Structure 1
Amino acid sequence: MVSAKERRHQQVLEILQETGTATVGEMGTRLGVTEMTIRRDLELLEADGVLKRFHGGAKLDFGSSYEPPFPVREKTNAEQKRLIGQRVASLIDDGDTIILDGGSTGLAVAEYLLDRQLTICPLSLRVAWAFARSTSVKLIIPGGSVRAGELSLSGADTIDYLRGRHFDTYVMTASGLSLKEGFTEWNPEDAAVKKTAMSVADKTITAVDSSKFTRVGFVKICPTQVPAAIVTDGGATSENLEGLRRQSQGVIVAE
């Protein structure tokens, strides 16, 4: 259960993602809380490294080559990611071999796979650790370099490991999704691993929350037509969803 404070923190980040910057007064008005409450929230979020405060407000800085730190992504659209995770899990059959991406959405998917009979290759130490309490999932950990902070696995060893195996499904996350550029990623090494994972799996299911729509990362992964299914939440505009349906094999809105 998400606490009122956690939900408010998510809403603060969503406001900043919409506007880039916002004043304490603007955020307080939109969320229906006092400015003092917003100031305390901003202090905590800044301490977590998820935003920068300035006199009277706060901001987030996003560019195509800048990857927001994991705490930002973990707190943004958390409830939507849980819905996506649950829906993605329903598309996976027991007994399957799965490549599971890292990041906050990958963690959300992992939570709904803990009690399943699956063989899972996680592409992140965070996701691998999420299965520590599972007694039914068989984990296979690829080699590779671990990115500081992100804890994703990448590099030549990870790619070689994947190329030597075959999987039923790859559950892919992405930093950005646009109708023009398709799926994109902040980090080139992570993008290379994603492309390899797609090539060694029978099908790819992409899990992206609506905050990723119209965002374009530094490196292209694939067009929207490639994944067998795209699972998202209902926060995207109807125009974007309809455009995505026209371009893709299938769109599932988790509600």
Structure 2
Amino acid sequence: MFPLERQKKILELLMIKKVLKISELTEELQVSVDTLRRDLNLLTKQGKIEKIYGGIKLVESKFGESTIDERMVSHLEEKESIAQKCCEYINDGDCIYIDSGSTTYQIAKYIKDKKKLTVVTNSIPVVNELLTSDVELIIIGGKVRQNEKSVVSYDYLFNFHELNISKAFICASGITIEKGISDYNLEETVTRKKMIELSKEVYVAVDSTKFNKDVTVGVASLDKIDYIITDHHLNKNFIPKFEKTSTNLIISE
């Protein structure tokens, strides 16, 4: 196993158990204590884990939003299910936008066999996933957010209005009936708002933990969202509330 694979595995294990002993990790990863220490030192330096007596734990987020690495492995089964449902709405020849979220990233894994598909994205993981496929890629130019592995942009950096997007797949950190979708980062919302404005159809792909949350920055009201695709753990009380809106709520199995 390569160092990056081991480090990703360590984070995945911590998402499940929260605290791990060094002895548990050496046994699970089948590596020496010295090799493990090098991985842990790097993850500690990156601010992803914290060393405690005899073991390690995840560093808790300070401002409400967990890191992209944490989100990539949390609720993974639900996110994959949502992504597969999203793919049912993607056709050969489409030009789609895939947002820089951990749920929307999963979509990239299931569209590689689509024909004459164009993907516009600001997500570096999405680009990496599709780089060796036949999908035509357009990456939005702008400033790289290294912690989020995304690119944020403005009109003066990227000519958004030249794009002809048929379907946009947007992520969100919060959804309420009253306020619509919201997110933590102001710069990220600039691109999301642009894509919602430009796209013929707007899909929001979010796991069920995001419902009934209104976080830092408002992105769009529900009347601007055509579909919300989520997982089957959604509280059933939300379903009749969406029936009173123009947004279609789709629940993946």
Task: Name the TM tier (shorter chain).
Answer: 0.7 to 0.9
Amino acid at match of 1:224: L
Query: Match of 1:210?
Result: 208
Shift in Å at residue 108 of structure 1? 0.5
Query: Match of 1:120?
Result: 119
Of 75-84 and 145-154, more deviation after overlay is shown by 145-154
Alpha-carbon separation, structure 1, partners of 2:245 and 2:51: 40
Contact 1:80/1:209 (<8 A) preserved: yes
SS of 1:246's equivalent in the other structure is coil
Query: Match of 1:227?
Result: 225
Amino acid at match of 2:201: K
Amino acid at match of 1:225: D
Matches within 5 A, 1:70-85: 70-85=68-83
Contact 2:140/2:153 (<8 A) preserved: no
Summarize the Cα distance change of 1:49–1:233 in structure 2 as closer, same or farther, 3 Å threshold: farther
- Structure 2, unpaired ranges of 5+: 1-7, 29-35
Summarize the Cα distance change of 1:209–1:11 in structure 2 as closer, same or farther, 3 Å threshold: farther
Q: Percent identity?
A: 26
Shift in Å at residue 215 of structure 1? 2.8
Amino acid at match of 1:191: T
SS of 1:120's equivalent in the other structure is strand
SS of 1:67's equivalent in the other structure is coil
- Taking structure 2 as the reference length, the TM-score comes to 0.76
Match of 1:250 among 218, 226, 248: 248
Summarize the Cα distance change of 1:80–1:140 in structure 2 as closer, same or farther, 3 Å threshold: same
- Structure 1, unpaired ranges of 5+: 1-5, 17-23, 25-35
Summarize the Cα distance change of 1:216–1:196 in structure 2 as closer, same or farther, 3 Å threshold: same
Alpha-carbon separation, structure 1, partners of 2:91 and 2:83: 15
- Taking structure 1 as the reference length, the TM-score comes to 0.76
Alpha-carbon separation, structure 2, partners of 1:62 and 1:243: 31
Contact 1:49/1:71 (<8 A) preserved: no
Alpha-carbon separation, structure 1, partners of 2:184 and 2:114: 31
Summarize the Cα distance change of 1:147–1:12 in structure 2 as closer, same or farther, 3 Å threshold: closer
Alpha-carbon separation, structure 1, partners of 2:16 and 2:207: 12
Shift in Å at residue 189 of structure 1? 0.7
Query: Match of 1:132?
Result: 131
Match of 1:165 among 159, 163, 166: 163
Of 203-212 and 234-243, more deviation after overlay is shown by 234-243
Alpha-carbon separation, structure 2, partners of 1:14 and 1:178: 28
Summarize the Cα distance change of 1:123–1:249 in structure 2 as closer, same or farther, 3 Å threshold: same
Query: Match of 1:95?
Result: 93
Query: Match of 2:146?
Result: 148
SS of 2:139's equivalent in the other structure is coil
Larger radius of gyration: 2
Contact 1:142/1:161 (<8 A) preserved: no
Alignment coverage as a number of residue pairs: 231
Shift in Å at residue 66 of structure 1? 4.0
Query: Match of 1:197?
Result: 195
Amino acid at match of 1:121: V
Amino acid at match of 1:95: G
Deviation per CA, 1:80-132: give whole Å up to 9, x if none: 00011111011112101111101211210111111112111111111111101
Contact 2:49/2:56 (<8 A) preserved: no
RMSD: 3.4
Contact 1:143/1:158 (<8 A) preserved: no
Match of 1:241 among 239, 242, 245: 239
Contact 2:154/2:190 (<8 A) preserved: no
Alpha-carbon separation, structure 1, partners of 2:113 and 2:94: 13
Deviation per CA, 1:120-160: give whole Å up to 9, x if none: 1111111111101212x111222111111212111225874
